[in-house]
Structure 1
Amino acid sequence: MRPIEVVDRLGRWSSGRGPLYLLLAARLRHLIDDGELPPGAVLPPDRALAGALAVGRTTVVAAYDLLRAEGRIMRRQGSGTRVAGVPTAGVVEDAPVDPIFLDSLEARDDDVLLAICAAPGDPPPQLAEAFVEIAPQLSRISNDIGYYPYGHPALRKALAARYTARGVRTSFEQIMVTNGGQQALSLLAHALVSPGDQVLVEAPTYPGALEVFREEGAVLRGLPVGLDGFEAAVRERRPAVAYVIPTYQNPTGCVLSALRRQRLAGAGVPLIEDEVPADLGFPGEELPTPMAAYSESVISIGSLSKSIWGGLRIGWIRASTPLINRLARLRAVRDLGGNVPTQLAAVHLLPLLDGPDLHHTLKSRHDHLHKLLTHAFPTWDIPTVTGGQCLWVRLPYGDGTSFAQTALRHGLAILPGAGLDVTGASDTHLRLHFRAPEPALTEAVHRLTKAWSAYHPPATRIPPRPTIAI
């Protein structure tokens, strides 16, 4: 692709705050993700694009390096710079596995078994019952246009009461209901992060959060799970925000101690506490006190997507009232409010989070998958967890990205660890979830076994394709 063509597509890429290379990378990222720069497209050489844009070559190099680290482009000596997704001429390795966002969320017509999206596959019967219960309530609504940028008061009050019962005194003014946890993250990133800002994240962590922060032009800095070294990183990096999953961490399943939560909360940095997996404990596991109990600088987010059903699109933010007001103004510009009947139904579904059925089912499916995996793959490192939705598996050789390609050829879409870790230290890992019914888990292991038997690691590592997985 000629430099002038890329310049035309870039448009007003330089308008905005932050270093030029981050703004250029952000605009190229949008063009790649939207398909305007398709897989395999050749990008201009550094000097040619820099000349066309009237910027220094180092700006283009830095932008390309950032996109290469994310897996969106490939750079090879003699082959130039290309959008990831299609192998370059003369290279016999496979293209990067590409079960990205939409393909991993929507049902497919082929025989590929999706083991990427860790969410309930079927709505519980109580969901239909909840909608039946609210029907009379809907019939009585009058003089109400139904727009609630903050969320319906009934659900906000119910969520505030649940936080208070868990040891975090909360008023309904501190709650905002969102269309799922992903919208909650997106609103917070837009409100708190500017291009070039440093954001501290765990390595590995939830990949959907990484994509949200990248969309805002953040510089992501990875720390070990639990944000080990957080205090020193805060002093050295002065981050705009930090993001942590303290309970049944996605993907490792780790749970932070009360002392560790208290120390993180007191570091003086806005801290996003992702509590989406927190309700997924196994029977007998005590639900830890949210980190928001230790500091008002902690912002909690939650969702019913992993505990009840993703199709509900019910999430929330618990924060200070001024921040909630600011977020509501941002939300009103994009979305005047969520679905009112669904929010009213969610009020009736909240008690399910503390019921036994969910937790016993999770434990049974975890044990089933772990038993099958340890029997089929005695050389794999497969730690158990006490809650959550996935196992964090380490391969004895090879890398997760190339093995995911082999698995896809055997009808199984799995999530390689490289896309979950900004430090690049999780190449040998896979995330395998246990949310599916036991027959589906059995079939997944059967296909995984055949894939492992056929697997031959490539001579050179294949860069990961960015994946948004749930």
Structure 2
Amino acid sequence: MEERAPRDRALGSRALAALLPDPAAARPAYRQLARAIGALILDGRIALHVRLPAERELAAALNISRATVTAVYDLLRESGYARSRQGSGTWTALPEGRTPRGITRLLRPRDSAIDLARAAPALPERALADALAEVTPQLAEHAHTPGYHPYGLPELRTAVADRFTRRGLATTPEQILVTSGAQHALTLVLGLLSGPGDRVMVESPSYPNALEAMRRARLRTVPVPVTDTGWDVEIMEATLRQAVPQLAYLIPDFHNPTGCLMPAGERARVLRAAHRSGTWLVVDETLVDLALDVAAPAPLAAHGTPGSGGKVITVGSMSKSYWGGLRIGWLRAPSRLVTELAGQRVATDMGGSVLDQLLALALLAREGALLPPRLDALRAQRAALAAALAAELPGWAWRPPPGGLSLWVDLGEPIASALAERVLDYGVRIEGGAFFAPDPGLFEQRLRIPYTTAPPVLREAVQRLAATLADGLPPCRGDRGPRWIA
């Protein structure tokens, strides 16, 4: 029986037009537009089973003929990216044999390209082997139990709570929920505390997977800028006061992708403004341990006055400081909310892997031995990347971040997407800055370049970027296959 598409999921003509290339830029226009829409569907920027605009409305929004839009929709149907139902319009679909890039980003690339799309370091084999040896007897003890821990292993909850307390934010285990990574924590929060149409304040640029989770939750993002010099707190205060968003998602610690660190005074102002508007603050601390030039900052919630930090949810993870393969994250929130979120979690996965949580506990206990060498390596790799860029591409500009995993590079002209597409032919995988934008058309002059690989590899990657520019860039086609952002 044919699945009936929900009638309340529709994409407006102006919203779709803003995502599409200029129809006059390439010929035939209908084929380029259809290709762009297909790429947006695979990329998740347009959701599946969403009604596309009526032909006449989209033609007006793009300033093209209705016949051209008819040809676009015909081609989308022929290629499997759309289906039509008489009386209900045209709906997006996934073609047979195609995989959404949300999945392909998580797969190991099949080519040998240098990977600068993922900002995620590997875990030293010796550290993993030692941790496995330590937890094997403990795992045998747990094997005699059912193994379900919707809140997380009590020992791990205690260890995470103790970390918060040592950093200046008194925390009890009852305020901790262990999750399958920071992204899992965010989706639990979105599912419990927001609904379709709710406003959420986000930074611009921001972490693409978080933005994608908000799109899928059908939230309305309200962007506030983050520049090379950081946040404009007056704009944030005005946005919280005027838009009164249900949630605000912030990355104040070595912001992804800019690398900025929010000063303590600004954290206190944001807390006060959110408290006045009744907005839940979701603070992503995934990168907080990767302080390269400064001391690791205290949690944002620690900067509030009594009562002002009551609606703050702090999200953390092992992915960037240890290893993403563990899939261990956590959130800190008021204990009653933690209980509600645990109920939300049971509806999806019952509880996390006991083995992964035991490994996380063992690795956290070795923090003093594991993190300093990692930070030293990141400093050396950051220096190597900066030196290579200065030598090979002296017209590019960036500010050295005080921590984190990447440079946010200004190319001086809006060529990022075209460069990212073309340089794959030269053996480098990278993402243009537009992928970090909550709104279309932004950051085409930016690249995020991680320094998570060895200096010789980084130097070779920069040389290939320079060679690509020297050979010239064709117009960006907008669909270049699987991508992954971490």
In the alignment, structure 1 residue 371 sits paired with structure 2 residue 383 = no
2:252 maps to 246
In the alignment, structure 1 residue 259 sits paired with structure 2 residue 269 = no
In the alignment, structure 1 residue 140 sits paired with structure 2 residue 146 = no
Write the distance in 2 (CA, Å) between the matches of 1:115 and 1:327.
35
Equivalences for residues 231-380 of structure 1 within 5 A: 231-266=237-272, 267-268=274-275, 269-282=279-292, 285-293=294-302, 294=304, 295-354=309-368, 355-380=371-396
Name the CA shift for 1:14/1:173 in 2 (closer, same or farther; >3 Å): farther
Shift of 1:106: 2.4
**Tell me, what secondary structure is at the counterpart of 2:320?**
coil
> 1:55-111: per-residue Cα shift (whole Å, max 9, x none)?
xx87xx69x98xx9xxxxxx977864676xx9xxxxxxxxxxx99444433222322
Which letter does structure 2 place at the counterpart of 1:220?
Answer: T
1:47 maps to 54
Shift of 1:139: 2.6
**Tell me, what secondary structure is at the counterpart of 1:415?**
coil
In the alignment, structure 1 residue 415 sits paired with structure 2 residue 431 = yes
Is this contact kept in 2: 1:200–1:223, CA < 8 A? yes
Which letter does structure 2 place at the counterpart of 1:432?
Answer: I
> 1:239-294: per-residue Cα shift (whole Å, max 9, x none)?
11011100100000000011111111222210110000111111x52111111222
Write the distance in 1 (CA, Å) between the matches of 2:339 and 2:259.
33
Write the distance in 1 (CA, Å) between the matches of 2:51 and 2:133.
58
Is this contact kept in 1: 2:422–2:468, CA < 8 A? yes
Is this contact kept in 1: 2:43–2:102, CA < 8 A? no
Name the CA shift for 1:463/1:76 in 2 (closer, same or farther; >3 Å): farther
Shift of 1:142: 6.4
Write the distance in 1 (CA, Å) between the matches of 2:159 and 2:152.
12
Equivalences for residues 49-198 of structure 1 within 5 A: 80=72, 100-141=101-142, 144-198=145-199
Which letter does structure 1 place at the counterpart of 2:296?
Answer: L
Write the distance in 2 (CA, Å) between the matches of 1:390 and 1:347.
27
Q: TM-score, normalised by structure 2?
A: 0.78
Which letter does structure 1 place at the counterpart of 2:448?
Answer: R
Write the distance in 1 (CA, Å) between the matches of 2:453 and 2:354.
29
Write the distance in 2 (CA, Å) between the matches of 1:286 and 1:193.
34
Write the distance in 2 (CA, Å) between the matches of 1:281 and 1:351.
19
Which letter does structure 1 place at the counterpart of 2:261?
Answer: V
Name the CA shift for 1:340/1:367 in 2 (closer, same or farther; >3 Å): same
Name the CA shift for 1:463/1:406 in 2 (closer, same or farther; >3 Å): closer
Is this contact kept in 2: 1:401–1:464, CA < 8 A? no
Is this contact kept in 2: 1:362–1:435, CA < 8 A? yes
2:421 maps to 405
Name the CA shift for 1:330/1:408 in 2 (closer, same or farther; >3 Å): same
Write the distance in 1 (CA, Å) between the matches of 2:189 and 2:480.
27
Write the distance in 1 (CA, Å) between the matches of 2:47 and 2:141.
51
Name the CA shift for 1:456/1:20 in 2 (closer, same or farther; >3 Å): closer
Is this contact kept in 2: 1:418–1:464, CA < 8 A? no
**Tell me, what secondary structure is at the counterpart of 1:300?**
strand
Which letter does structure 2 place at the counterpart of 1:245?
Answer: I
Q: CA RMSD in A?
A: 3.6
Write the distance in 1 (CA, Å) between the matches of 2:100 and 2:413.
23
Gaps of 5+ in 2: 17-36, 80-98
Shift of 1:439: 2.5
Shift of 1:366: 0.5
Is this contact kept in 1: 2:104–2:484, CA < 8 A? no
Write the distance in 2 (CA, Å) between the matches of 1:452 and 1:285.
35
Is this contact kept in 2: 1:279–1:353, CA < 8 A? no
Is this contact kept in 1: 2:196–2:218, CA < 8 A? yes
Write the distance in 2 (CA, Å) between the matches of 1:419 and 1:413.
14
Write the distance in 2 (CA, Å) between the matches of 1:402 and 1:99.
21
Which letter does structure 2 place at the counterpart of 1:281?
Answer: A
Write the distance in 2 (CA, Å) between the matches of 1:148 and 1:353.
24
Which letter does structure 2 place at the counterpart of 1:440?
Answer: V
Name the CA shift for 1:99/1:329 in 2 (closer, same or farther; >3 Å): closer
Q: TM-score, normalised by structure 1?
A: 0.80
> 1:196-223: per-residue Cα shift (whole Å, max 9, x none)?
1111111101101100100100111211
Write the distance in 2 (CA, Å) between the matches of 1:450 and 1:180.
38
Counting aligned pairs with the same residue, the percent is: 36
In the alignment, structure 1 residue 448 sits paired with structure 2 residue 472 = no
Equivalences for residues 384-403 of structure 1 within 5 A: 384-403=400-419
Is this contact kept in 1: 2:42–2:101, CA < 8 A? no
Shift of 1:380: 0.7
Is this contact kept in 1: 2:195–2:218, CA < 8 A? yes
Is this contact kept in 1: 2:104–2:483, CA < 8 A? no
2:224 maps to 223
Shift of 1:30: 13
Shift of 1:126: 1.5
Say which is worse superposed, 220-229 or 318-327, in terms of deviation: 220-229
Is this contact kept in 1: 2:254–2:288, CA < 8 A? yes
Is this contact kept in 1: 2:43–2:100, CA < 8 A? no
Write the distance in 2 (CA, Å) between the matches of 1:392 and 1:130.
35
1:382 paired residue among 393, 398, 406: 398
Write the distance in 2 (CA, Å) between the matches of 1:44 and 1:261.
41
Name the CA shift for 1:270/1:346 in 2 (closer, same or farther; >3 Å): same
